[in-house]
Structure 1
Amino acid sequence: MSENTRKTVMQMLTSGDDGRVCKDIPESACNAESGNFLKHITSLSASKISDGLIDPKLVLSWLLTTLGAPAFMIGLLVPVREAGALLPQLFTAASLRQLPQRKWAWAVGSTVQGLSAACIGLAALTLEGRAAGFVIVGALAVLAIARSVCSVTYKDVLGKTVSKSRRGTATGAASTIGAAAVLAYGGLLSLGLIDRMNIVATGLFLAGALWIAAALVFTTLKEDPGSTEGGGNPIQSFKDNFSLLVEDKQLRRFILTRGLLISTALAPPFMVALGTDKDQAGQMFGGLGLLVIASSGAGLVSSYVWGRLADRSSRKVLILTATAATIALAATLGLHLSGLLEQVWALPLVLFGLMIAYQGVRLGRSTHLVDMASQDTRAAYTALSNTIIGGLLVLGGGFSLVAEYAGNAAVIGLLAVMSALAIPVAFGLAEVQQDSD
């Protein structure tokens, strides 16, 4: 693709915002921005498709159930995936900062994720029972740790290669492409025209191939060497990074907002449990296919819009998504109390609404963090925020106990309160897209 074509495509996606002005990247990066912009979309789209193809909440849970793995292993999938992707970051950020070009770390992490997905695919075809469970959960743990490397480096690379006001558009476009592909996958699962084990195994191998392809594309980014200060002893790095909470009031408020909005990630399994007739439990894989469709469909219709809005005001995106999540969860409770939640239309509808909010939370908080931090603090802010949220997600496992003793409706109520509390907290965030304009 020629340089003029790349610039034309970027201008079409960004509506030519601010002409060709680069706000917070050097001239050398500005000259390569159009190519880097499209490479970000390509590599991130492949990664997001892979995420949908191995979704632990849906695909891997069904896979372990089908293979006869012990129930406790199925319960480990989401905690291993979420905590493994977030908790290591505070300790690895310092080492990663020693790399002048962090695109290489992202590429290695993406490659390891691809190999891990292929291992899960092999296990699906060759193992059963406890052995399958151990291998799949173990491979998922390796995948999650590799993902943590990608997470802590991606925002830093994005901030160095794409200018403010266009970053949310790049990630939003990638989310839309990924959602469209996963939507087709969910439709294929729901139809049942092909043996579902074959579909799932093929999807796992395809996810592996896409992650490796994403790594290859990412290595071609034109990334200027960046600051390498701050690398060193992980324990000292932990102390230094944690001190940022004391020094930066906006960082504290951002992490609190993001922490309250983990309600959007935790709620779907409890919503499904609340709206599912227990007598139909053995027939629910088609329903889980609908969950995939609801999730990817929400991403398809909202991700690009959220990304464009986030480039204008990520603060307002977080306020809007907190409000949308509160409405979706309150509606879930209302439908449950009225006895309508088990209607065929009800659960997909409220789940679709929550997933729209979830997509906005992801894009809003990602763009906000990149734009509020400087090039020198971006990696540390990302690692600190992700590690704290990882810890909160582990504690979120306690909602399972609440569900057991007080019911799923009680959990939905608590998560609705968390979303509602995020609204006034987000109002206090700074309009970071207007800083240094």
Structure 2
Amino acid sequence: MTTADRFYSRLVTRDADSEHDLPDAVRRELPRNGLRLVAANTLQSSGDQTVNASTVLPWLFHVIGVPAAFVGLLVPIRESGSMLPQAFLTPLVVRVRRRKWVFVTGALVQAVSVAVMAAIAALGHGTAAGVGILAALVMFSLGRCLCSIASKDVQGRTIPSGERGQIIGLATSAAGLVAITLGLAIRILGGGDLDSTELALLLVAGAVLWALSASTYSRVVEPAGEPGPRGGAEDGDGSSSWFADAARLFREDATFRRFVTVRGLLLVSSLSPPFIVSMSVAAGTGALTGLGGFILASGVASLIGGRIFGRLADRSSRLLMAGAATAASVVAVALVLAVALPGFDGGSALGATVFVGAYFLLTLLHSGVRVGRKTYVVDVAEGDLRTTYVAVGNTAMGVILLVVGGISSALAVIGVQWALVFLAVLGVIGAVSAVTMPEVSRGAAR
């Protein structure tokens, strides 16, 4: 047994039957590939922390004097921008025999984009700087889009079912540890007074992390697949139409349609945390202010949740999604009820603890939903169908995210608590729907 074998076996509960189904060449490289994927995904997730659209970039905009109206564009550009183009790009991606090079290209695009943001942070100011960073964020989102399409397929080709969730969970936990270290460093060295130069250096570190991720991912030994067709569905005039492919997939594939529907309903854990921050500020608590505090909280949640949820995802990814979404809905409603109690004081130690606890729990549970859905989509399909599932599903989610985010934001104008209740109701409906999805995890069959 090689060193890589021993190390991989200590980190992952291996599935001998599933590994036996792999081609010999893939099985020989499994331990090294598994460790490389964990390392590359850890570097990528760590880089994400340095350009977080909910914490770092809003903080940067404030420091360099970007108009407040621009802040509201950050999350939609980052999230929807990385999802909406995926169905359109899929016909190009499936032509590539080794999809790892698609990921490497996407990671390098992200590295360059963040380096551009760092230069603007160091030299720019005001509206022009905001426009430049938003433009770089659009380019960043396209790189993220390529990584998202390719990563599921590479993992499906190189890691057997029963171990994929653990790989995702390990990377999540490791990135959480990096985030904790980063958060503590910011709190100790910068506190609440980080200037543009220090933030630029933080972004430079992010660019380096993505470059290292690309380098590590390039060493994954991936079996070559057959190149996909040069077009998608044929229109009446013979031209290809990715939109027709996507529409047909929704119409004819009930499993895919249900997965996208459930995923769209499980946004409670991802969209609720910003509303909790808003409630805490309105209530007078300062416990969640400070960039280091945000990064620290998300890092602790990832560290704890990644390992646990990775194993649970390999047992049953659909039940993990259902359970995590239900718990997130309960947390959101419990917070609304707690804040509504007579005499509740957000500025007190108890009030701050309530907000911090709710924020942490929702971030933790979001790790569960995220690991569960990623594992499910890798297990539910094979080959180019998996690539299509990921791309078309993410494109649909880009639209759903805008719709649900718009509704919750409109409700927040009436009262933030109504937005949380709305998301909690969706979460419960999604959890019930997730239970009815087909079981695809090998662990559930034991």
Give the TM bin, normalised by the shorter chain: over 0.9
Letter of the aligned partner of 1:123 in structure 2? I
Note if contact 1:183-1:293 (Cα within 8 Å) is conserved in structure 2.
Answer: yes
Per the alignment, do residues 24 and 266 of structure 1 end up closer, same or farther by CA in structure 2, a change over 3 Å counting?
farther
Alpha-carbon distance in structure 1 between the residues aligned to 2:362 and 2:325? 10
Aligned pairs (5 A) from 1:357-376 = 357-376=365-384
Alpha-carbon distance in structure 2 between the residues aligned to 1:354 and 1:240? 36
Pair 1:385-2:393 in alignment: yes
Pair 1:323-2:323 in alignment: no
Note if contact 1:24-1:164 (Cα within 8 Å) is conserved in structure 2.
Answer: no
Equivalence for 1:414: 422
Residues 359-413 of structure 1 deviation map (CA, whole Å, 9 limit, x = unaligned): 0111000000000012231000001110111111122341222212x11111011
Deviation at 1:200, TM superposition (A): 2.4
Aligned pairs (5 A) from 1:160-179 = 160-179=157-176
Equivalence for 1:146: 143
Aligned pairs (5 A) from 1:221-260 = 221-232=220-231, 236-260=241-265
The percent of aligned pairs where both chains have the same amino acid is: 31
Pair 1:122-2:127 in alignment: no
Residue 441 of structure 2 aligns to a residue whose secondary structure is helix
Pair 1:432-2:440 in alignment: yes
Letter of the aligned partner of 2:328 in structure 1? A
Aligned pairs (5 A) from 1:209-224 = 209-224=208-223
Aligned pairs (5 A) from 1:86-165 = 86-165=83-162
Per the alignment, do residues 201 and 320 of structure 1 end up closer, same or farther by CA in structure 2, a change over 3 Å counting?
same
Residues 78-121 of structure 1 deviation map (CA, whole Å, 9 limit, x = unaligned): 00000111000000011100000011110010011011111111
Pair 1:77-2:74 in alignment: yes
- Report the number of matched residues: 431
Deviation at 1:77, TM superposition (A): 0.4
Aligned pairs (5 A) from 1:50-61 = 50-61=47-58
Residues 293-314 of structure 1 deviation map (CA, whole Å, 9 limit, x = unaligned): 2221111101111011111110
Deviation at 1:231, TM superposition (A): 3.9
Note if contact 1:190-1:285 (Cα within 8 Å) is conserved in structure 2.
Answer: no
Alpha-carbon distance in structure 1 between the residues aligned to 2:28 and 2:220? 12
Equivalence for 1:12: 10
Alpha-carbon distance in structure 1 between the residues aligned to 2:47 and 2:147? 14
Equivalence for 1:402: 411
Pair 1:356-2:364 in alignment: yes
Equivalence for 1:34: 31
Taking structure 1 as the reference length, the TM-score comes to 0.94
The runs of 5 or more residues in structure 2 that have no matched partner are 234-239
Alpha-carbon distance in structure 2 between the residues aligned to 1:285 and 1:119? 29
Deviation at 1:60, TM superposition (A): 0.2
Deviation at 1:233, TM superposition (A): 5.1
Residues 44-76 of structure 1 deviation map (CA, whole Å, 9 limit, x = unaligned): 000000001110111100110111111221111
Note if contact 1:190-1:286 (Cα within 8 Å) is conserved in structure 2.
Answer: no
Alpha-carbon distance in structure 1 between the residues aligned to 2:284 and 2:11? 48
Note if contact 1:189-1:286 (Cα within 8 Å) is conserved in structure 2.
Answer: no
Deviation at 1:20, TM superposition (A): 7.3
Once the two structures are overlaid, the 10-residue window that deviates more, 358-367 or 254-263, is 254-263
Alpha-carbon distance in structure 1 between the residues aligned to 2:227 and 2:269? 35
Once the two structures are overlaid, the 10-residue window that deviates more, 31-40 or 246-255, is 246-255
Residue 415 of structure 1 aligns to a residue whose secondary structure is helix
Once the two structures are overlaid, the 10-residue window that deviates more, 138-147 or 223-232, is 223-232
Note if contact 1:227-1:376 (Cα within 8 Å) is conserved in structure 2.
Answer: no
Instruction: Give the counterpart of 1:186 among 183, 187, 192.
Output: 183
Deviation at 1:40, TM superposition (A): 0.1
Taking structure 2 as the reference length, the TM-score comes to 0.92
Note if contact 1:290-1:348 (Cα within 8 Å) is conserved in structure 2.
Answer: no
Equivalence for 2:337: 334
Deviation at 1:211, TM superposition (A): 0.3
Once the two structures are overlaid, the 10-residue window that deviates more, 134-143 or 394-403, is 394-403
Residue 243 of structure 1 aligns to a residue whose secondary structure is helix
Equivalence for 1:205: 204
Per the alignment, do residues 79 and 21 of structure 1 end up closer, same or farther by CA in structure 2, a change over 3 Å counting?
closer
Instruction: Give the counterpart of 1:48 among 30, 39, 45.
Output: 45
Note if contact 2:266-2:431 (Cα within 8 Å) is conserved in structure 1.
Answer: no
Alpha-carbon distance in structure 1 between the residues aligned to 2:23 and 2:132? 46
Alpha-carbon distance in structure 2 between the residues aligned to 1:23 and 1:347? 48
Per the alignment, do residues 105 and 314 of structure 1 end up closer, same or farther by CA in structure 2, a change over 3 Å counting?
same
Note if contact 2:42-2:175 (Cα within 8 Å) is conserved in structure 1.
Answer: yes
Note if contact 2:325-2:428 (Cα within 8 Å) is conserved in structure 1.
Answer: yes
Residues 103-151 of structure 1 deviation map (CA, whole Å, 9 limit, x = unaligned): 1110010011011111111111100001110111111110001100110
Equivalence for 1:196: 194
Note if contact 1:191-1:286 (Cα within 8 Å) is conserved in structure 2.
Answer: no
